[in-house]
Amino acid sequence: MKCSLFLLFISLTFSSVLARGGLSGSATTRLLLEENHSQNSNSVDKAKGYMSNYDLEQAVKQFGRRCSNISRIYSNVIKILHYANGVLDWMISIGKSVNGFPLWVMEISDKPGVEEPEPAFKFIGNVHGDEPVGREITLLLANWICDNHMKDPLAKLIVENVHLHILPSLNPDGFALKRRGNANNIDLNRDFPDQFFPMNNDENARQPETRAIMNWLREIHFTASATLHGGALVANYPWDGTQDQRRNYYGCPDDETFKFLASSYSHSHHNMSLSKEFHEGIINGAFWYPIYGGMQDWNYIHGGCLELTLEISDDKWPNANELPTIWEYNKISMLNLVASVVKNGVHGRIFSSDSGRPIPGSITIKGINYTVKAGRAFADYYRLLAPGKKYEVIASVPGYRSKSTIIWLEEATTLDFILDPEETLEGNLLRSICDCSGGVTTKLVWGYYMEICFVLVIIAFLCFLLKRRTIFTLGKPRQSSKRSVMI
Ligand SMILES: *[C@@H]1O[C@H](CO)[C@@H](O)[C@H](O)[C@H]1NC(C)=O
Ligand SMILES: *[C@@H]1O[C@H](CO)[C@@H](O)[C@H](O)[C@H]1NC(C)=O
Ligand SMILES: *[C@@H]1O[C@H](CO)[C@@H](O)[C@H](O)[C@H]1NC(C)=O
Ligand SMILES: *[C@@H]1O[C@H](CO)[C@@H](O)[C@H](O)[C@H]1NC(C)=O
Ligand SMILES: [Zn+2]
């Protein structure tokens, strides 16, 4: 069952790779683009003091070497099976910009790359090429955590309890060109599928950077995230769009949660909350100006991830000597936001009362139309919520009787659920399906899954051949007599 799904995925991938004419860009084009960066006389001043894309790559790798025991470096790569000229091979098809620059990610955790019953958080910088502050301060953040996780309680808490993933630049090509869009001049923050308008629904028309993010979220289950932008000083929260395209306050089901997260950010920032333009330094996206195809709303709807859009500098491209100050202004806010996935809300695990095993299900809150899924391996869930309120938390898993508990939430509350199986035929059936797809299976990389499936398919094929041969051999004596007659 699982295999056939993956085979379907493989065949779908074939067609898309072939239709799009394979890979774009190469290391050489990327270097050429880079080299001209400092030669462009007009913009020398602007980029001065900022890392070039090449510098950024080196900085990420250097961070990985320096902090190897609490980090892992990966370029957001998904392996896919590709068939060309009679050769079937693994290739890397996404996780790079249009011009072939790898989208490097730093993961910070005491067990990087290992799945644990812990929440994941992500920071993404430089979504817009001409807003480069995020790519600089995310590296400062990573290095600061590296230097301080033994002494600073917040850094220690993050390293020990969170998997923090940092993508400093989603749009390296736009940065090299010093413009908002990517190399195809597409605004990546308008390129996601939209809840109201079907403009971006063609998967193949989507930019590689966008697809990289979408695939990344299929691989890693993030609890919350933030993207870093420039041009204002405000914490923006969903929804970003409205159905009628008018500029209106349009809150999502988690409006209270988001207002809490955004306010926490603005209040621990140097002066974001003192804004004259934005009350308390926060704003509902649709009330500010509606956008469609944004990353933030897509994360909340499809990624199960509560995302903020942080505008952290009035000047989109400030002088590089202001970067250390901007970092200082945002430091505590950034750390607090990451830590909020363990310090706020309700979290726990879901178990089966008969086997005692974790059962991946979902958590809902009465009165909030939003479902948070538990992790597949550990059935751990993280439900961010605004504190100071009463909530009814409901755990449900197909084939089990749902349970609910009322809590008064202040600080983070741990709430484990032990669910009883539903003793009906339907319940048994549902449970057996759930056990296959969840249980002890750890979250494997797509590639792994497919490798396994591929091997299984080959084994099945060999079995099939062997069986046929056995039938032939068994059938031979009888056939031989027939044959001799025929000949
Ligand atoms: C970089 O500049 C060189 C000459 O200065 C030019 O020949 C080359 O085409 C430029 N490359 C790109 C990618 O713009
Ligand atoms: C990382 O390495 C340092 C020194 O090399 C060590 O003191 C520290 O305990 C390590 N941290 C983790 C989380 O393993
Ligand atoms: C925040 O502080 C910076 C630097 O002092 C200043 O330029 C900016 O105008 C201030 N913003 C607000 C909203 O107070
Ligand atoms: C809950 O949200 C879904 C979309 O996620 C929507 O289709 C449904 O109508 C909503 N239900 C209520 C009761 O608002
Ligand atoms: Zn922006």
Q: Which residues pair with 370 in a beta bridge?
A: none
Give pLDDT, residue 72.
93
> In the annotation, is 411 catalytic?
no
**Residue from 115, 219, 311, 410 carrying the catalytic annotation:** 311
C-alpha to C-alpha distance for 169 and 162, rounded to whole angstroms: 21
Cβ proximity of 434 and 397 under 8 Å = yes
Q: What is the pLDDT of residue 138?
A: 98
- What lines the ligand 2 site, CB under 6 Å? 69-70, 110
**Ligand 1 atom 2: residue of nearest CA:** 36
Lowest pLDDT segment from 86-90, 173-177, 270-274, 297-301: 86-90
Residue-wise pLDDT for 8-33, tens only, equals 333 333 322 222 222 233 333 333 34
Asked if the model's pLDDT at residue 167 lies above 90, the reply is yes
Q: Residue whose CA is closest, atom 10 of ligand 3? A: 271
Question: Does 39 contact ligand 1 (Cβ within 6 A)?
Answer: yes
The residue to mutate among 68, 69, 72, 110, having the most atoms of ligand 2 within 8 angstroms of its beta carbon, is: 69
Beta bridge partners of 349: 380
> Which band of pLDDT confidence, cut at 50, 70 and 90, is reported for residue 485?
very low
Cβ of 271 closer than 6 Å to ligand 3, yes or no, is: yes
Euclidean distance between CA atoms 101 and 208, whole angstroms: 11
* pLDDT at residue 281, rounded to an integer: 98
| Backbone torsions φ then ψ of 289, nearest 5 degrees | -160, 125
Listed residue (266, 351, 258) closest to 305, CA to CA: 258
Kindly tell me if the per-residue pLDDT of 66 is higher than 70: yes
Contact 282, 235 (CB under 8 A): yes
Q: Is the CB of 32 under 6 A from ligand 1?
A: yes
First and final C-alpha spacing in the chain:
47
Run of H or E residues at 87: strand 87-94
Residue 85 — pLDDT band, cuts 50, 70, 90? low
Ligand nearest to the CA of 160: 2
**pLDDT at residue number 442:** 37
* Averaged pLDDT for residues 397-415: 96
More confident residue, 429 or 443: 429
pTM of the predicted structure, to 2 decimals: 0.79
Identify the residue whose C-alpha is closest to ligand 1 atom 1: 36
Give pLDDT, residue 432.
73
484 lines ligand 1 (CB under 6 A): no
Q: What is the DSSP string of 311-374?
A: EEESSSS--GGGHHHHHHHHHHHHHHHHHHHHHSSEEEEEEETTT--B---EEEETTEEEEEEP
* pLDDT of the residue at 175: 97
Average pLDDT for the chain? 83
> pLDDT tens-digit profile of 331-342?
999 999 999 999
Two tokens, residue 213 = 């993010």
